[in-house]
Each structure stands twice: as C-alpha cells, then as structure tokens.
Structure 1
Amino acid sequence: MSQSLTRRRFFEGAAALGALAALSGCSPKVSESEDLADTGEAPEIEAINLDEYEVKHSWCYMCGPAKTICSTLCYLNPEGRWVHVEGNPVAGNNWGYGCKSLCAKGNSAMQTLYNPARLEYPMKRVGEKGEGKFERCTWEEALEGIAAKLLENREKYGPWSYAALSPQQCNFISSIGRRFMYVYGSPNYLHSAICQNQITVSRHLSIGKKTDCYPYQLGKTKLLVNWGVNGENADVNNTNDKANPYRRFDAMEQGLEFIDVRPMLDPLAAHASEWVPVRPGTDAALALAFLNVIIEEDLYDHDFCENWCNGFDKLAEHVKQFPPSWAAPITGISEEQIVHVARRIGTEKPMGVMYGNGAGDQANDGNWLSICLNLLVAITGNLDVPGGGGAGKKMPDPLFDTSKIGKIKPLMEKLPVYPEDAENGWAPSVSKLVAPEFPRWFQDPETYTADTTFNYPRSAYNRAFQAILTGEPYELKSMFAHSTNPLSQTRQPKMVAEALKKLDFFFVMDTAWNPSCDYADYVLPACTRYEDSCQIGVRNMPEGTFIGIEQQIAEPLGESRSDWRVYCDLAMAMGFGEDFWNGDFDEALRTQLEPTGFTLEELREKGYIFVERTDGAKPTEPEYQRYAELFADLPNGKVQCYNEIIGGKPNNREDGELGYLPVYVGPPEGIAETPEIAAEYPLIFTDVHAHRLSVHSYFSNLPYLRERNRLPWVKINPATAQQYGIEDGDWMKIESPHGWVKMVAEYFEGISPEVIMGKRGWWQDCEELSEPGYECFDGGSEVNNLYDATIENFDDFHSAMAKQTLVKISKWEG
C-alpha cells in the first residue's frame, strides 16, 4: 500500500464524522445498533448549496481559545445560523496552500457557539466556597466588586499576592493578561509546567537558542527518532508544526524511516521501523543508555565532539555507569534492543530526534531527559546538516511588515524592582515569585524580556496552590482563572480544592461552568472568538503572505464578553485606563496593523487578505554547519555536554544545587524504583497529553466529538484485563497510593501488559447525548487524582511533574 493511500485512510477516520455532520448542519442520525465504526457506512445527509450562504472568516478556536493556527471559512445559512466550516485554502492549513480540510475538532466548531452549557451572565457567590450557590449580578457589580477586592488585597498583602492561572499557552493571558498583572505589580503568572516551554528551555541549555535537534527537512532525513510525540492527536491539521503526520508520510515516501519511542502503539507508531515501548517515566534511563553505547562503541563524531563540545570527555566518563544492562530492568526494554537502536542512532545519517510533551515536560527528570536527547543529535554530528537537527530552509520575506501582529507590549517596566532583584541581577519582582518555575537566577532580564509573550517570570501552577496551604513562602490572596479548570489541569485536585477554599479571593472567566467555579467569588461569562473580532494572525508561505482576523459570526450569547475586552473593562475599573487604551481594545489592534498598511476596518470587512508572491522567490537552502554562530550564546561557544549554565547553581526550590551532568531520577513510583510499592500496585498508569477529540479537559460536551468519545476510557492489554476478570467495555476501579478513579476498559493489544493508559478531563456532560460528566475527585474519572504531588519530586530545574504512577485494578461493581 502506498504511503499516500495509508495517510489518506489514517485521517479519513479521524475527521469523517465531524465533516459530514458539519456539512449538514445537524448531528448524523445513526441507530445504536448501527455504529459507523462497525458498518463503515456514512449516514445520509441532506445536500445543501453553499453558494447561497454568507461566508465569514475566523481563526479556529478548537486547539485553544486564542490561537491562530488554522484559518477557517464559516458558512451561515439564510437564517443567519452557522452550519458549515472548512479550512481557508489560501491560508496554508493542513496539507498547505489550497487545502480546505479540517480535523474533527475544527469540524465541530459550530457547536461551541450553540452549546447549551454556555455561561450567559455574570454570577456572584452567595454560599460557602465549594457549595456552588450563586446569584446573577450585572457586569458593573462584578467589575466593581473585583476591582475593589484586588485593590484592597494589594494594599493589605502586597501586589505579589495576586496571580493569574494559565491554561495551555494562551495569547490573551500571556499578553494583555500579563500586562494587567505587571501594571498591578505582580510577577506571579502561574504556568502549568506541562508545556513546550519546558522542552524549549532545556534545548537552549544544551545546544543553544539558534538550532534544534528536530529535523526541519524531513524529506532529506534518513532516520527520525520520534520520542513521546503524539502527532496523530496533537498536530493532525497544523502544517506548520514539525510533528504534523502528513509531513511524516511525505518524508517516508522519500526514504525516511523512524523509530517510535512511546509506551503505546498509536497509529503512527504502526508505520515505524521499530517500536520501543519504554516504561512511562523511565525515558531518561533509556537516553543515558543510548549515550553509553554510542560513546563506548566509538560511534560519535570525533571532529564535532573535539571542536564543538564542552566537556565531552567528562560526559564520556560519566555515562559509563549507564550501560544497557543497567537500563534494561528499569525501562522494560531488552539490552539487545537498546544496543541495536543506539547503533542506528549513531550510524544512520542524517538523523534527528523529535520529542514531545510525553517526555520532557511530564517527567520529574524531564530537563535532563531533554538535554540527553539534544546531545544524542549533537555528538553524532547531526546538527545543522541537511536532513539533520535544525537546518530548515529559509522562507522568503513577508510581502508586508508583520512585525507587530499578535504583539501587545506587556509593560514589564511597570513591575517593581526590589533590592533583592537588583542585587542578584534578576528580572523585576522575581524576588517576589511565590513558587519559581525556573530558578530565580535563571529569570534574569536577558532571559526574560519585555518584548516576548513566551518567556517571562512565572511561578509553577501546582506549587503555588501548595503555598496557599502551607503559607511558604507566603499565601497568595487573589487569583484569576481564565479558560482553565485547575481541578483537571494539575496534579491532585483534592489539594487544589482545599487551596481554593482557603484562598481569600478567586474569580473565573470561561465560556462554560467548570468545577472550579464552585469555589469562585465571581464567575464571568466569556464569549467565543466567533462572537467578537479581537485577534489578528499572519502566515508567510512560499505562495504569499496571509493576514486574517476573526469576523463576528453572531452576537455574544446573553451578556458574555470577549476575554480581551474584559481586561480593558477591569483595568478601567481599577484606574489603569491609561495603560489599556482607555478601555478601547480596538486601539491595540490598530497598533498591530500600523506597519502593514491595512486598516482595522478594512480587515474586519474582508476577514482576511492574501498577498500573492509574484517575484518568484522560493525557500532557499541555508548555510550549513554554522557552529560558531549557533553556539555563540553557550559557555565557551560549545554544546554543553558538561553543563556550565546550570551546574553548581541553586535549583528552583532553593534547597540544593543543580548538577553539571545528566542523571536519572525516575518516577516517584516505579516497578524498578519502588518494588515495595509495586508489590501492592503492580501496573503502571499514565495518560495521553493531547487527544484529537478534545482540548485537554474541554469539548467533551460537544455532540460531534462526544459521540465518538463517549466514556472515560483506559486502554489495557486484553491479557492483563482478563487476569482481573475485566471484559472489554467493563467499568474498572483504578487505585494508586494517591487516589482512585473509575474508567471503562478498552482492549488494546498495542500496549505493554504492565501499562494502562487513559485520558484526563471528563468533567463535562453532554446534554444532547444524555452523557454525564464525571467528578474531579476520588471516585470520579479525573486521572490527576492518581498522581504524586510531592514538590520535592518535581523536576528541580523546570518544575515538570511525573505523569505516571503505580496502580492496582479491579472490576467496578458500583
């Protein structure tokens, strides 16, 4: 079977139902006894003539509330109802220029607008925290109440007592939300530590900011090591992302082979030349063993290591203690496979490593794991060579000035500089971080600048909640949760709920009620991006340069408001108007557009503008092996095999020092690490980071998605399940040393018999399908109940938390 046909069949199943439903504007009618997955037949749909429909442009909402990844065309029927959506062919989505397809989530976008679970009015708490007793109030009452309390707490406890909770990387929080924090005077942006940012910073520590271990020209790559990347779920429709599965299949037609290092045989892994089902949480041991084999068997690039590696001899001596015989009983991978894969990594060129959220930012030694993966590419001489790590083609310049698009100056200069900041060379107010996500010494003005929306001072989400309970170093007093449910976002929701009860002031803004709202003082209704016009995005392609804004498709539901505009409203109530365009967010958009030559009115009228490239310019080959330039920001201008950036410096808890050389820590509970716990809890539990039918813990209440993802599932090897008398489709009880959940067994032979794997975030019900939501606490289906939340077990550089534990299972008879 050709790779093209394989690719087509792989993705048809993921998006077909949503596409058909979107075309008809109604949910497909399928009887319970005639499921699509069983019959392979599509439901009958009524044909419509889209030429008669009004078309509006928007950026898709379905991979996050403020992203500009996929440009979409939204069709409104003659009654003004949004009934169909497709990719904008000139925006370069999915397969690139000319493609109109969307993923299943994108095809379900209409249902977010018409969702019966939507919040419509501001609400004020009238009962005890956690009771869920609220009454409707006006926006004026809510804004005045929030402003008065924030100003009172700033005066009583200091501006650092305010914090904002981050969901996944979200532009309105990291830009205008951060601007609000800084004007208020707080540095406490509470970042999840479950993020690409953790991986990126570890790369900077090892091979610098100007290169990458990911290959950008996959068509020239001979061997790709896919390590913990869940591309078939996380990157189905994003052509700009390195992990897009289409790019993988295209490269395979040109000779690429890949090795898949993941505990579960997901669809892409079925196409790998080798599958390495590493035990969850033991990836760093495997990476160290690969380094051992490559160095001991003299498979490294001598010239590169001699001239461009800092402390290679020290690394070589250090990894002698991590041979395959040491790693095999830890990782569950045989010595023979470890040696074989290491030899392939060391000899097949060009080679690159693509690693994702399942590895570097969800393990308590994730920083060292990420560093090891970058070193594997570096010492084998695969950095900045055609088809190797980095070395992407250079795109022609944009056809108009895009330099300000999507940028809102955060005004870091508004943050106070305390004596301790000045004395230590830290960024402003870093001394007041409640739980530094990265060590304070790392958060200096050069590392965290005022002109980015990615790098900035922040505290760790989970540790900040624990500080509320312990009072160490101090208690946060005010907190804003924006488009995030902290009872599903981080480890141990029971602990989070106790912290929310103790928190002095908590307010929430979201499109739908989430469980954390029960603990809020005020709940504010957010409109979707389809009900306002507040975000501009651009895309530069070989075919031309695209700029677009979401056009308003419908009036905001009830009294819901735009997230962007509410920050302006709140700033006005606080007396911050001068720093927030005197309450007119459109002025911020006009500032972004000034260099482009387009006006806000013009862009809103058209929705998008595409300027075609007519000069014949095409992507060009870069200069290769520019090592002096690439490593200029590293100590001694070299790759950090012996890491002089972090070595000998305080960790983020300030209770110890960071090392110079990579080490294996391992999970808090593991078969090899804690045999005494494994005696009672013999199986390993972990969860997927992203799923193609939800966005983290959101969108389980959309019928198009929920009908293909109805019950809180856990994948389990049939042989394992049968040992416990559990049949396919049975409810099962899963218990760890930290809590327990109930989930539905889904037989899957492509998973190790010692591992079971679920998905977090089942709190939403789906009214249209009569599907319930499930509790976030013990006895519900929130997998975060199972995980360890001991701060000393978090990564001591970038605060990543283990996403695995040991469990015991039984058939649930409840």
Structure 2
Amino acid sequence: MTQEWKLTRRAFLQGTAALGAMAALTGCASQEALKPSPTGEAGVAAGEVEVRHAWCQMCGPAKTACSTLCYIKDGRWTNVEGNPDAGNNWGRGSKTLCAKGNSAMQILYDPARILYPMKRTGEKGEGKFERCTWDEAIEITASKLKELKEQYGPESYGVLSPQAYQVLWTLGRRFLNVHGSPNYMHSAICALQRAASKKISIGNAQCDPGQINKTKLLVVWGANTENSAINQGDPNKRVKAIENGLKVIDIRPMLEGLGSKADIWLPIRPGTDCALALACLNVIIGEDLYDHDFTDNWCNGFDKLAEHVVQYTPEWAAPITGLSADQIYELARTMGTTKPMAIQYGNGIGDQQNDGNWACISICLIEAITGNLAIAGGGGASMKLPDPLIKTKKFDILTDRLEASSEDTEKGYFAGMAKLVAPETPRWYQNPKTWESGPNSAYFKGLMSVLTEDPYPLRAVLGQASNPFGATRQPKKIVEALKKLDFYFVVDTHWNSSCDYADVVFPACTHYESSQQFATKNTAEGTFIGINQKIAEPMGESKSDWDFYLDLAVAMGYGDDFWNGDMDACLREQLDGSGITLEELRAANKGIFVERTDGAKPVEPKYQDYETLFAQLPNGKVQCYNEWIGGKPNNTETGTLGYLPEYVGPPEGIAQTPDLAEEYPYIISDVHAYRLCNHSYYVGVPYLRELQPYPWVKINPATAKKHGIEDGDWVKIESQHGWVKLVARYFEGIAPEVLMCRRGWWQSCEELGLPGYECFDGGCDSTVLYDSTIENFDPFHSAMSKQTLVKISKLEEGN
C-alpha cells in the first residue's frame, strides 16, 4: 500500500495509524501511563522488574556522558536513574540525572516518532511523501550517490554534523573517507572553534581549572555549565569550591543559576568579549601585573603584544561592552593579582562571535601572561588518574583513504584539503595534528555553495540527527539551498522541519532500541564499561544510526570496509584485547566495574611542563605575536590573517552601528545549550514542555514596561533580517538593552495541547534574526555572530 499525504504531525500519525500501533507496541497510550513506577529497586528485588543499562542520549544522540539504569515492568520502560557504579555527576554512588535524563522514556514512546521510510512524491517543500521499504530507500540513496560521484566526483557529497555526534565521528567519517569526500560540515558554532584558537595560542595548555579545589579565583567567561553540563559534575564542584572560599567573577549577558553565586557579575553586551579581553590585557601589562619570568622565557613576541594593546584602554572598551571603565579595571586587576586564577570560557565567546578567534586568544593570553598555566589551581594541571583497567581499541576511521590531489601535493596540503567545499579553518591549517576527527567544511558556508556554486556546488547532503534550520543561521537561505540540492536525505527519529525538503527520509530508532554502542569511564576507584542494552525493539521499521551507515555502505559496494554490514563484528573488533566479550557486556545489566586493587591512586601532574605543552607552537612558546597563523591565507582565501589580536565586533551593535540602533535599539542573543532540551530537539517531550510551555524571551521589566509589555505577553521581535514571536518573561538579571531567548523551537507537544512553530518569519526560531553574510564570519575558524539589533512590540495576536 502506498499513500500520498501532506505531512503535518497529526496527518502523519493518522495516515500510518502510528498512534494506535505505538500504544500496542508499548502498552502506553497516555501521559498518565508514562509517569514513573514506584517499583524500581524494590521491584527488581521482588523479581517483578527488570533493570537494563543504557547510556543516556538526552544530551545528544550517541552520547556516553551519563550511565543509566532503566527499569522495565511488564515489558514497558517505567523509570530511570543514574547508575551508581559508573561515576556520573559527583562520582561513584551518584544516581542523579538532569530533567532531560529523567524524561528519556518519553522519547522512546513518543507518538510523533517517524516509523517508516518515506520517499518524496511532490515538489520540495510540499511535504508530499509515500511510504517505501527500508531496502528501497537504501537503494534510491545508494544509486543517487553513485551517480553523483561518477558525474561530479566524491567531494560532491557532504554530511551535516549535529552536536558532538558519536556516529558521525566514527562510521560517518569512515564512510566519507572511503567514499572520497572531505566534506564533513561542522556547525562552526560549537567547541571546535575554541579548541582551535587555544591550540594556536597556548598549545596543549588549558585555561579552565584542573583542580578547582585549589583555585582562588575563577573567572567564568561566557560559560554556561549549569545548562550544558548539569549532570557532568561541574556545577557540583563549583558550588563546593565556593563554599570553601573560591572567589568567582561571572561575565555573561544574562544572570544564570551559578552566576547568582558569583562575587561579581558583569553583564557584558553580547558579541563584545574581545574588546573586554583586550582592555584587560592593556591593564595587566600596563600596570605591570604580569609574570615577568613566564613572559621572558615562554612568550613569543610579548613586547609586540604590549605595544599593540596600549590602544585598548578600559575607557575605549567601556562604551563598546556596556560595562564601566571602573568595572574593567577591577576585573583586570583582580585577575592580575590573584593566583592561582583560572578562566572557564564557553561557546558564547569564541564559537559564536565573528571575531571569536581573537577573543579566545586574548583570554588565553590573560591566563598565560599572569603565570596561571599548568599550576595547581590554575589552568589545566589535572590530577593524573591511574591507567584504565579495561582497554578497548580506538575506532579506525580510515583517514588514509582520502586521496591527495595534484593541488594537495603542490601546496603541501594534507590529502583532500584542496577539495573542501568551504574550509572551516584554512586548508593549510587542517591536518591530523590540528583536527578533531578529520577535515572540516563549515556547515552554513557549505550549504551556500549549492547556491553560489563557489568553488563548486555540493550535490548530495545527509542530515542525520541535525535540523539545518535550527543548527546554523538564516533558514530563509537554507531552504533555498535544500530546494536546489540534487539530493537531500535525512535520518532522524522525528520529522524535523527540514524533512519536507528531503528526497528520502529514514526512520532512526533511538539508542534505547539498539545494543550497538559501548563506552568506558575510568575513575580513581576503577574502570567502568557499559553497553546500551535494548529497552525495546525498534518501533515500526526504524533502524539504528549505526545500521543505516552499514546498510548504505554495503549498497555502495563498500562492504569490505564496513564488516559486510555486521555491527557486532565492528564491536568485537573494538573489544578485542579488552578481556571482555560482547556477550558478557550485553549480559551485564548494570555494566561491568573493575575495581582498582593495585593501590594505584591519582598523582600530581607535572606542573609547568611548558616544553611539552608548547611543543607544537612556533619557537616552542605562547604566541603573543602569532607566527602560526600570521601572514597566512584566511579560510576563504580572500586575505591574510594578522599576527596580533584585534577587535572587530559584531556586524550590528549599539556601538558598532549607531544609525541602525536608532531604529533597532536592543541587542538580542540566545542560549546555546539549555537544560530542558537538546538544541532544537525535545521541546515536544511532555515532562520537559511542562516546564517551558512556550518559546520565551527574557527581558528586563523596565524595558518591557516602556513598550506596554506585561510578563507573559506575546511579543514581536524584529531585526533587519526577519522577525519572530515569543513570550516575554520578566527577568531583572539582564541589562535593559539586552534580550535573551532560546533557539530551536519547532516541535509540538500534542499530549499537552501545545503547538509547534515555524522557523521562518513569524515563527519562533531566533536564527532568522541574525546576519549571515559570509564575509562577516571569523576569517580563521568561521564562527558566526549570534547577536543582532532588534525592536520589540506587543503582539496582539498570540500563538
């Protein structure tokens, strides 16, 4: 049977009779039925409840941060808790989970799951599809990829990278390399940007504290760990250190939970952190607050930096940042006179500002010249754990399969660099010593190649667990690229807003429905290993992300490099030599913990081991004057990179574009990670949607009242690029000139009667508000600004 229909969420469910099928499969057809069972450990003891191990996927697909125990009664997953054997959050014995983790059952049993493979029958964007078999969908996809490879070369295929997706780091990379394409399209709004800036300035040293219990001053600069790492231990460690006397300075536009515990909060204007960091360098150097021994022996070009930053005074930075000159002096002097000092800086700094590279470098240089690198309580210098007691093999992604072109050879590039469609960092920079898991193109710029055909257009793109309308900038441009693509295919658990433009959609099962991923955690007490155990059989005709890649590889003729489609063979290869078999691992319902009995304990690191930490840097020194990148081509090959940090500022800002600010007087930005969702996913989860029922914008009450806006009113927020509607939430912990929202709204929650929203003008996704001019992106690592100027008004008609 085939049937054509417009794929609204409700129509899709009705057209496939999925809701009834889901209830039959799960024994769970109502919100009430999903409430936690009180029979966890007691039920296990009585033999009425079974417990199975799973890595929580609620912070992202295939994540292995938190080990969980899943309780199953009468064939249905009823409740979940942290696995005390694994060492989540505060360590061994912890059973905590965040709100997302506690809602995991509702992902498995979500009535909005995609259950069947679909192929497009109408025009792109119409949402007209018909059901097909999995094998047919694989054959359509393989045939098209073969055709495009033959006609345009293997580099015509690119894959969109969602947030830290383990499947793409392994099988996805391996597939790209065997296929012959370097076009892994990283988002350019995540941690890779910070990592690259740190590497080229302070090498393998770190700024954030390795031993926070020994830190006297912690400067939290745009880090958001109460949202992004709520169950990974950082908030717990910080609170404990504060109780023991740690002083905290928190620098970010909006006061978040941990910010309320800081000694000083500095509400900086979004996008101006580089100006603040340069002004701090001005004070620290100008007032002789730096470590002379370190700068004399371990800094490259310190005198040039000192001369350069004379121009960046606190008086210059104050009208840019929205802070007073006195606040900037106090910050710089406190950092320059308190030791050990550590700086924890986050995505809002280097990854989402168009001068993010220099912002990150300037922050790293503050940590370096004050002598706080690799000292107890300063940056890095973590206690060294004993070797793991369980050792598994690293996944081989077959990087050597990328072929070197004549241009690669001529210019001394690593193989494949010349064929990158949109180098995220410059081609000359990308090599196995600098990349995360392989070569990268930039997500947005790569998609724009479809429209510009510069240097060539991508022809086929895979969106796997990634919604391009919420993952980058300007969905109005993204949709034009998706329409023009020869072939766009999606693998996902839910029908995200880009699926209407796909040619084929594959239904992915959650990682709670497969047993194809394991991970280890090494602690002072011992080593834990656990594998995902099946909580339920895959719903409908869904398959795992792992099986999708293996099936496609076999259909492409790459089976010899993909275990001939046998994921168990892949797992056995990784476990070989570990002393643990796949069968033993799958049988261990709480994972396997090997206790340390040899008496080995964590030991002090080798402090101030600068020869090792700076070994890759030019002259083996911190790059105050950056000879690694200075004078070399930028990532668009339209100019050269500088040697010294400079402030550029956001494309649109109160200080940068005063004429524009007359019409659009407020700055808006968004929270990159949020504790009640995973980027643009999970706002359809009832437990989580109850806590944030509507898309919100936080606004200072004084600002709201100027426009007749009451707490809870729907408002219209408009930039020169687009407009959104959001619900105003009064919040005094935000400057009167700043608005803060949360990107990524699109899912509905029919269990609670709450709607989904569009991602274009008049919708609720902040990405439509931002500048997307490629020339404004960071010229080293492609970071894009996530702030712009807007005006606000009360919206008479709500949602």
Query: What is the TM-score with the length of structure 2 in the denominator?
Result: 0.94
Shift of 1:25: 12
Secondary structure of 1:668 counterpart: coil
| Distance in 2 of aligned mates of 1:735 and 1:424 | 46
Shift of 1:631: 1.2
Shift of 1:47: 6.7
Is the contact between residue 715 and residue 746 of structure 1 (CA under 8 Å) also seen in structure 2? yes
1:527 partnered with 2:523: no
**Mapping of 1:428-507 within 5 angstroms?**
428-448=415-435, 454-507=436-489
Q: What is the match of residue 257 of structure 1?
A: 247
| Distance in 1 of aligned mates of 2:314 and 2:243 | 33
| Distance in 1 of aligned mates of 2:247 and 2:398 | 47
Q: What is the match of residue 150 of structure 1?
A: 145
1:576 partnered with 2:558: yes
| Distance in 2 of aligned mates of 1:742 and 1:324 | 37
Q: What is the match of residue 166 of structure 1?
A: 161
1:63 partnered with 2:59: yes
| Distance in 2 of aligned mates of 1:419 and 1:327 | 48
Q: What is the match of residue 772 of structure 1?
A: 755
**Mapping of 1:561-572 within 5 angstroms?**
561-572=543-554
The match for 2:764 among 765, 781, 791 is 781
Deviations 1:139-193 (A, max 9, x none): 1111111111100011111111000011101010121011111111111011101
Q: What is the match of residue 17 of structure 2?
A: none
How well do the aligned residues superpose, as a CA RMSD in angstroms? Answer: 1.5
Q: What is the match of residue 223 of structure 1?
A: 217
Q: What is the match of residue 195 of structure 1?
A: 190
Shift of 1:46: 6.3
Distance 1:202 1:455, change over 3 A: farther
Is the contact between residue 717 and residue 791 of structure 2 (CA under 8 Å) also seen in structure 1? yes
How many pairs align? 765
Deviations 1:178-216 (A, max 9, x none): 11111111110111011111111111111112x201111
The match for 2:208 among 209, 214, 232 is 214
Query: What is the TM-score with the length of structure 1 in the denominator?
Result: 0.93
Shift of 1:630: 1.6
The match for 2:95 among 91, 97, 100 is 100
The match for 2:746 among 752, 758, 763 is 763
Is the contact between residue 36 and residue 78 of structure 2 (CA under 8 Å) also seen in structure 1? no
Q: What is the match of residue 10 of structure 2?
A: none
Deviations 1:734-768 (A, max 9, x none): 00011000000000000000000000111000010
| Distance in 2 of aligned mates of 1:456 and 1:400 | 26
Shift of 1:45: 8.6
Which amino acid is 2:653 matched to? G
Distance 1:248 1:133, change over 3 A: same
Q: What is the match of residue 685 of structure 1?
A: 668
1:743 partnered with 2:733: no
Distance 1:28 1:342, change over 3 A: farther
| Distance in 1 of aligned mates of 2:348 and 2:262 | 18
Shift of 1:624: 1.3
**Mapping of 1:618-697 within 5 angstroms?**
618-697=601-680
Q: What is the match of residue 294 of structure 2?
A: 304
Deviations 1:254-294 (A, max 9, x none): 22111000000111111101001100000000000000000
Q: What is the match of residue 43 of structure 2?
A: 50
Distance 1:44 1:519, change over 3 A: closer
Which amino acid is 1:292 matched to? N
| Distance in 1 of aligned mates of 2:604 and 2:400 | 40
Secondary structure of 1:358 counterpart: helix
| Distance in 2 of aligned mates of 1:107 and 1:93 | 14
Q: What is the match of residue 357 of structure 2?
A: 367
Structure 1, unpaired ranges of 5+: 1-23, 30-42, 449-453
| Distance in 1 of aligned mates of 2:30 and 2:374 | 50
Secondary structure of 2:694 counterpart: coil
Distance 1:28 1:267, change over 3 A: farther
| Distance in 2 of aligned mates of 1:551 and 1:140 | 25
* Bigger shift: residues 128-137 or 468-477: 468-477
Which amino acid is 2:207 matched to? C
Q: What is the match of residue 560 of structure 1?
A: 542
| Distance in 2 of aligned mates of 1:664 and 1:797 | 14
| Distance in 2 of aligned mates of 1:85 and 1:583 | 32
Report % sequence identity.
63
Is the contact between residue 412 and residue 428 of structure 1 (CA under 8 Å) also seen in structure 2? no
Which amino acid is 1:92 matched to? G
1:316 partnered with 2:310: no
Q: What is the match of residue 86 of structure 2?
A: 91
The match for 1:284 among 263, 274, 277 is 274
Structure 2, unpaired ranges of 5+: 1-27
Is the contact between residue 31 and residue 751 of structure 2 (CA under 8 Å) also seen in structure 1? no
| Distance in 2 of aligned mates of 1:489 and 1:617 | 44
**Mapping of 1:593-608 within 5 angstroms?**
593-607=575-589, 608=591
Shift of 1:400: 2.6
| Distance in 1 of aligned mates of 2:108 and 2:149 | 37
**Mapping of 1:676-755 within 5 angstroms?**
676-755=659-738
Shift of 1:447: 3.1
Secondary structure of 1:704 counterpart: helix
Shift of 1:408: 2.2
The match for 1:793 among 764, 776, 798 is 776
1:137 partnered with 2:132: yes
Which amino acid is 2:56 matched to? C
Q: What is the match of residue 246 of structure 1?
A: 236
| Distance in 2 of aligned mates of 1:566 and 1:726 | 49
Distance 1:46 1:204, change over 3 A: closer
Is the contact between residue 426 and residue 445 of structure 1 (CA under 8 Å) also seen in structure 2? no
Deviations 1:469-519 (A, max 9, x none): 111111110111000100111100010001000001010000010110000
| Distance in 1 of aligned mates of 2:384 and 2:433 | 26
